[in-house]
Chain A
Amino acid sequence: MRRLFALLAALLLAIPLHTGQALAQDYAEESLPNPRQEEQALALMDAIRCVVCQGQPISGSNADLAGDMRRIIREKIAAGESPAQVRAWLVSKYGDWVSFQPQVSPATSPLWLVPLATLIGGFWLLSRRIRIGRKR
């Protein structure tokens, strides 16, 4: 019985110790304790461009600044911000360029509208062809 208590006490002591360690972690390289948040953070890091080594996402860059960006992304996500909010924060500092995923705006709307228009135009041409074929 006494042993059980000792074990329980040890466990209780271990919990604050563990969270203390988590706080001392460096989020530039280490994952968040919450797996769902870590997943969100990683997805965002893949979509943010490193401002030093410009072709790379910050997830795969060794630059100091990329590590610092990863740290801030993890911290912000851990604090409850959504990936979209964190992305918007980075865009407010560095512009659209920092995000690999283009933002929907009047200037970028052709990215979505042109394929759609091409598709509709293609169907229209095809339907005319078929009609002409039937008439023959």
Chain B
Amino acid sequence: MKRKWLLWLPFALGLVLLGLFYVGLKKPEDHIIVSRMVGKPLPLFTAPAALPGQPGAATADYRMGKPRLLNIFASWCVPCVAEVPVLLRLKAMGVEVDGIAVHDTTEALQSFLARNGNPYTRIGRDDQSRIQLMLGSSGVPETFVIDGRGMIVHQHIGVVSEADIPKLLGLLGQQK
């Protein structure tokens, strides 16, 4: 009796597997790719200035003792517009926000900042996504929290909203 039951076991397992396949097919493939660089030192990079009047960004700027936000953005990125007011608020609270402009042009950036405001202390250009790849970032916008010793503390994927301010301030070691 027990053996007969055992005979059906492979079929039952097969059915379970088919069920899992079905569920897997129904679930849309939408992975949020988290950077493996969080908790590691900021890789060595030098991003030339994207705008004439504003400095670019380099790794050495993140070892000066003050934590900073490193915002990966682009003027062609629609959701990036939504986070500018929040970044401006953070700036008003004394947070240093730097930008890395991915695949961008000076003119497009200038009009983007003229329209939305400029929360950035430094803006570096990254025409070939080299810095983005070094950081393990897979899209725009993304915001990295870098502590004063050049360590990547946190990666925020997507738009920074009002609701994220307390968390970011906490990570930056600032009391609200």
Contacts and interface: CB of A to CB of B under 8 A. Distances in A.
Tell me whether A and B are bound partners.
yes
Interface of A: 28, 51-52, 54-55, 64-65, 68-69, 71-72, 91-95, 97-98
A55 B29 CA distance: 8
B128 A94 contact: no
Contact of B36 (A69, A72, A94): A94
Contacts, number: 48
Interface stretch (B15-23, B89-97, B133-141): B133-141
A95 B133 contact: no
A94 B129 contact: no
Nearest to A93: B136
Ranked nearest first, the 5 interchain pairs of A and B with the lowest CB-CB distance are A93-B136, A51-B138, A68-B129, A95-B36, A68-B128
B31 A72 contact: no
A71 B31 contact: no
Interface of B: 29-31, 33-37, 103, 128-130, 132-136, 138-139
A93 B30 contact: no
Contact of A54 (B29, B34, B133, B134): B29
A28 B35 CA distance: 23
Contacts of B139: 51-52, 65
A94 B33 contact: yes
17 contacts: A51-B138, A52-B138, A54-B30, A54-B31, A64-B103, A68-B130, A71-B128, A72-B130, A92-B36, A93-B35, A93-B133, A93-B135, A94-B33, A94-B35, A94-B36, A95-B36, A98-B33
Q: Which of A65, A91, A92, A93 has the most CB of B within 10 A?
A: A93
Given A72-B133, A93-B35, A93-B133, 5 more contacts: A93-B37, A94-B136, A95-B33, A95-B34, A98-B33
Contacts of A28: 128
Contacts of A54: 29-31
A87 to B, nearest CB: 13
Contact of B33 (A51, A55, A69): A51
B74 to A, nearest CB: 10
A69 B134 CA distance: 11
A93 B144 CA distance: 14
A91 B128 CA distance: 19
A28 B129 CA distance: 12
A57 B135 CA distance: 20
Contacts of B31: 54, 97
Contacts of A94: 33, 35-36, 136, 138
A52 B128 CA distance: 15
Contacts of B136: 93-94
A16 B139 CA distance: 39
Contacts of B129: 64-65, 68-69
